[in-house]
Every structure is written in structure tokens, then in C-alpha cells.
Amino acid sequence: MSATTTERGGPAGSGVRGTATSSSPARGGAGKPSHSRADTRAGYAFLSPWLLGFGLLTAGPMLMSLYLAFTDYNLFRAPEFVGIENFTALFADTRFLKSAQVTAIYVFIGVPVKLASALAVALLLNAKHRGQGAYRSMFYAPSLIGASVSVAIVWRAMFIDDGVADQVQQFFGLPGGGWVGNPDMTMPMMILLAVWQFGAPMVIFLAGLKQIPAELHEAAAVDGAGPVRRFVSVTVPMLSPVLFFNLLLETIGAFQVFSSAFIISGGTGGPADSTLFYTFYLYIKGFTEFRMGYASAMAWVLVLVVGIITAVLFRTSRAWVHYTGDVR
């Protein structure tokens, strides 16, 4: 980082610049005032804490893991290059495929349900009532504590035999039994936990709703549109950029679900691998089986898949996301 220090310490002029880019003398005649160069440097100087962190804590380890993905590495011995063996092994691994399936179900069902509930609550909270501020805080609260260990423990307790869920089922005469020990019911339980933490997308929806000009609704109402029609034809299109943003964020987040599943299943991904989420299996491979190369390969497959899904979302967004005012 000595380069940064020199740049920062030197006078904001061309002297330092000369030493830094002696290889490109032709550049000197570019003719712009030098203070913009100084600004650039100052910019980097101010960025440097972040850059350092990014380099040391994110980019470096990522590069390392990209390398490890092509090796057989057990944490203790030096990595041994094996080419694409890890990647080919992945697709012959039944538990890997199971974890991909579990994660896909969670993402493709959990995210839409969560966004729908977030939007529904946002619509409720957008209406004018007394004490609306208090309601907003209250509905946001689960998200503040939702990711914590204690909630996962409480959640687990709610879904065992004779837990809250079981009692509700019995009250309505439904077949009883806890969900925790039933592999068919753990996924609904995990999705419910995610949906319950609707706070962050809800707040964003609420902000989006506030920005829809009231006159649009008024004009639609004057033209005879009912509430449903106004929602479909005014609210949804006007909200689509926010919807898109939330969809993107929640999808990427859902792919990375880990801690709640870890706690609810007691660190096993069970029962019968029904909560074996992708990141969880990655963790098992890396930190209980010590197969870091394999785990790194899994991590990069995940990056690739999330990247592709994001790209697809962006591509399709042109068809359904409306940006008011200016062109994109």
C-alpha cells in the first residue's frame, strides 16, 4: 500500500504523477486541470480503508477459493491440483443434488410468498390510520430479531409435538404431530420462518407506495376503476422497480440461507436431509469433512448459478419493470 501513501502524502500536483506513470509520457498533454487528478487521488485515498478490506477480506480469499476449487485440499496438507475433478464429482454426489433441490424449493416458493406478504402488509400500513407509525415499527420488529439464534430455537420449540403449531392443528381437527421430526413438514416450517421476516422488503415497498402520485389513483377512480383494478393497473406498474429490487435481493439472500437451518436441525441438515440447504452442505464438506477443495468448487457453482439467475432477472425486467420519467 506504499503507493497509496505516497499519493496521499504528496502535493496535489503532477510531480507525484510523473513518478507513478513514467511509462506513459504522451499522457501529459491531455490538458485537463490537475485538480481533477488530485480529486481522483483523494477519492482513492478515502476509499482505501474499503479497498484494503475488500482486497484482504473479499477479493483475496475469493481468488484463493477459485484456486482451491481445482485442488484436493483438506485444510492441513498442501493443496494438490486435480483439475475439474471436484466439479465432475459434484454432479455424481446424491447429497449435492439433494441440497440443490432443497435450496431451489426454498428460493422459488419462499421468495414469492415472502414478497407477497411483505407487499400485503405494506399496503395495509400505507393506509391512513391512527397510530400507523407504531404499527409500522411493530411489523418490522420480527426482522430485527429474525436472524438471531434465539428465534430459531423458539421456532423449533413452536413446531415440536404439543408445540403451538401442533395445538392449532388439533384445534382445527387436523392430523397432529410436530413438524420438526417430519421431513415433509420442515420445508414449510423454514419458509414460514423466512416469510415472518418480511420487514426489510416491506419497508422498501412502503417507501415505493408512498412515491406513487395520488393523482394517478384519483384519475383511475374517476374513470371508474375499482380497488383491484387500481392495484393491478396503477400500483403494480408504478411499484415494479421496487418489486424488481426486492425480488433480486431476496432471491440472492435466499440462496444463502444457513443459520436458521443449522440451528433448527441441530447442525445436521436433517431430518433425512430435508433442510440440507446448499450453503449448509458446503459447510459440512468444508468444515466437518475437511474437503475444502470440494467446498470451494461448490461455492463457485453457487456464484455461477446466482449470477445466471440475476442476469435472467435483469433481462426479463425490461419487459415488466417500468421506470417513470426517463429512459433507462
Q: Is 22 or 173 the residue whose CB approaches another protein more closely?
A: 22
Choose, by CB under 8 A, the member of 14, 21, 88, 211 that binds another protein. Answer: 21
141 sits near another protein (criterion: CB under 8 A): no
Residue type, 118: A
**From 100-108, 128-136, 225-233, 267-275, span contacting another protein (CB under 8 A):** 267-275
CB 7 within 8 A of CB 41: yes
Q: How many residues does the chain have?
A: 328
> What is the nearest approach in angstroms of another protein to the Cβ of residue 11?
17
Choose, by CB under 8 A, the member of 9, 11, 25, 30 that binds another protein. Answer: 30
**From 218-226, 253-261, 286-294, 307-315, span contacting another protein (CB under 8 A):** 286-294
Q: Is 60 or 213 the residue whose CB approaches another protein more closely?
A: 60
> What is the nearest approach in angstroms of another protein to the Cβ of residue 152?
14
Q: Give the angle 33-35-41 at the CA atoms, nearest 5°.
A: 130
Q: Is 133 or 183 the residue whose CB approaches another protein more closely?
A: 183
Q: Is 142 or 163 the residue whose CB approaches another protein more closely?
A: 163
**Cα–Cα distance between 246 and 198 in angstroms, integer?**
11
> What is the nearest approach in angstroms of another protein to the Cβ of residue 57?
9
Site for another protein in 96-135 (CB under 8 A): none
> What is the nearest approach in angstroms of another protein to the Cβ of residue 12?
14
Choose, by CB under 8 A, the member of 4, 126, 169, 259 that binds another protein. Answer: 4
Torsion of CA 87, 93, 96, 97, to 10 degrees: 100
**Cα–Cα distance between 35 and 40 in angstroms, integer?**
9
**From 56-64, 210-218, 247-255, 302-310, span contacting another protein (CB under 8 A):** 56-64
First-to-last alpha carbon distance for the chain, in angstroms, is 38
Count of residues that interact with another protein, criterion CB under 8 A: 51
- Find the helix or strand (DSSP H, E) in which 71 lies: strand 71-72
287 sits near another protein (criterion: CB under 8 A): yes
**Cα–Cα distance between 67 and 87 in angstroms, integer?**
13
**Cα–Cα distance between 282 and 68 in angstroms, integer?**
14
Taking residue 167's Cβ as centre, other Cβ atoms within 10 Å add up to 12
**From 59-67, 204-212, 251-259, 312-320, span contacting another protein (CB under 8 A):** 59-67
* Of 309, 305, 313, 264, nearest in space to 96 by CA: 305
Choose, by CB under 8 A, the member of 289, 312, 314, 324 that binds another protein. Answer: 289
160 sits near another protein (criterion: CB under 8 A): yes
**Cα–Cα distance between 172 and 299 in angstroms, integer?**
44
290 sits near another protein (criterion: CB under 8 A): yes
- DSSP of 186-253: HHHHHHHHHHHT-HHHHHHHHHHHHHS-HHHHHHHHHTT--HHHHIIIIIHHHHHHHHHHHHHHHHHH
**Site residues, another protein (CB under 8 A):** 1, 3-4, 20-21, 24, 27, 30, 32, 36-37, 40, 44, 51-52, 55-56, 59-61, 63-64, 67, 73-79, 94, 160-161, 177-178, 180-183, 266-268, 270-273, 287-290, 292
